[in-house]
Every structure is written in structure tokens, then in C-alpha cells.
Amino acid sequence: MLHKVLLVNAMSTTIRPLLQVNLPLGKRLAEVAAYNREALLSFVNGVADGWERRDLAAWLVGPYRHATWHPTEPAFVTHDAALTLSHVALEWTLTDARFEVVAALQAVCATGGQRDNDELPFVVAARRTNGLVPACDDLGNTGWIAINDPRGQLPRRVGALLAVDALVNWRDYPARIRICARCERLAFARQGDACARCSAKMKADPRAEPSDG
């Protein structure tokens, strides 16, 4: 169910109508946010592992669908523009979407989190391109949810997942961002900087990489 609300843009004092999504009864924003991060991580790390078309298709109907809101009813997946790309174009767009997330997070780490999260470039971009929509749940919690636009560019759609995560889990930016220096896999963790995969590889064969102690 949706209804229109008027949101005031404090910077420009212009008023623009946006749709606010009321999540289904019992579905909470925190739950959607958790799905959101799961979808983001599975995409970024899956592409690093060499995803192909079938992997993307499974992601679109699985983690991504759980994490996003779709303006119309299902049946959209078979018409997803990303799945109609040529082999080469798909490889490029997957790589591009992953690269943009990693680069955006590296930039957040480089600046040390001195900006408010709603001013981060990828959050501003996601709002400007209508990749996000305000949402509330039956407990009255309000926040943002990414829009599933099957005709949209994949990097923009993945960028919206990142924007939602930065807005909801703002304490993790940049404190818990972990990008593996060896394989560029992404994680959010309290401490440590090596990814589980590279750590395991080093333990199995210490000669393969310098020991991390």
C-alpha cells in the first residue's frame, strides 16, 4: 500500500511529492535493511568471484528482490534489462557496478567519515535519480528503501543498495568497512582487515602470501 506525502527539501525549500511505501504488516525496516546489506555484499563479492548471467538472475529473484521495493507487481524478473545484455556488455556492467561500490567505499574510508552520511556522493546520487523511496513500517519506524527498477542501469541499482545501507547503518561508515587489499572482497566487521577467504588461504599455505601473524 502506498500514499503520497509531501517532503520538504530543506536545502532548496522546494516541496516535491514523493511516494512513501508502507511496508506490509509485520515487515520491519530493520529486516529490509538487513536484506539490503546481504544483497549488496553478495553482489560485490559474487562479481569478484566471476559471476555470470545465471548468477545475476538468481540474485535478482533472491537477495535483491527481498531488499527492494517494486512499484508494480512481480513478473518483472523475466523482463529485467540487465539479463538482456550481450555477454560482453553484461561483463562490463557487472564489473562497473562492483567497481563503483568499492571506489565509493574507499573514498569514504579516505575521508575518515567527516561527512554526514546523507551528504555522501552516492547517497545524493541515489536520491537524485529516484533510486530510493521513503518507507515506514507498522511500528512507525521511518527510513529509506531501494527501488527495484528492472529497466534501470545495474550500477545505479546497486548504488541505491549502498545508499540505503549507509543511511541505515551509518555507524559503520567508515568504522567497519573492510575491503580486502588482496582480493577486494567487501565486509563490514568490528575489527581485523583480512577477509575470511584470504586468511584461510594463508593458513592453508603460509608460503603463498606473507604471514599476517
Nearer Cβ to Zn ion (48/94)? 48
| Smallest separation (angstroms) from Zn ion to the CB of 108 | 19
* CA–centroid distance for 67 within its chain: 9
Nearer Cβ to Zn ion (29/180)? 180
Residue 179 sits in the site that holds Zn ion (CB under 5 A): no
Residue 203 sits in the site that holds Zn ion (CB under 5 A): no
Residue 183 sits in the site that holds Zn ion (CB under 5 A): yes
Distances (CA, A) of 128 to 6, 178, 197, 207: 16, 27, 36, 49
Residue 182 sits in the site that holds Zn ion (CB under 5 A): yes
Nearer Cβ to Zn ion (18/187)? 187
Residue 44 sits in the site that holds Zn ion (CB under 5 A): no
Residue 123 sits in the site that holds Zn ion (CB under 5 A): no
**Long-range contacts of 113-117, Cβ-Cβ distance < 8 Å, separation of 24 or more:** 113/173, 113/174, 113/175, 117/166, 117/167, 117/170, 117/173
Question: Mutual orientation of helices 87-111 and 29-48 as an angle, nearest 10°?
Answer: 120
| Smallest separation (angstroms) from Zn ion to the CB of 201 | 8
CB atoms within 10 A of CB 83: 15
Q: Which three cell numbers stand for residue 105?
A: 567505499
Residue 41 sits in the site that holds Zn ion (CB under 5 A): no
Residue 168 sits in the site that holds Zn ion (CB under 5 A): no
Pick the stretch among 48-56, 66-74, 99-107, 177-185 that binds Zn ion (CB under 5 A): 177-185
| Smallest separation (angstroms) from Zn ion to the CB of 197 | 5
| Amino acid found at 132 | L
Residue 18 sits in the site that holds Zn ion (CB under 5 A): no
Does residue 2 contact residue 22 with C-beta atoms inside 8 Å?
yes
Residue 180 sits in the site that holds Zn ion (CB under 5 A): yes
Nearer Cβ to Zn ion (44/195)? 195
Find, among 181, 185, 165, the residue nearest to 173 by Cα.
Answer: 165
Contact positions toward Zn ion, by CB under 5 A?
180, 182-183, 185, 195, 198
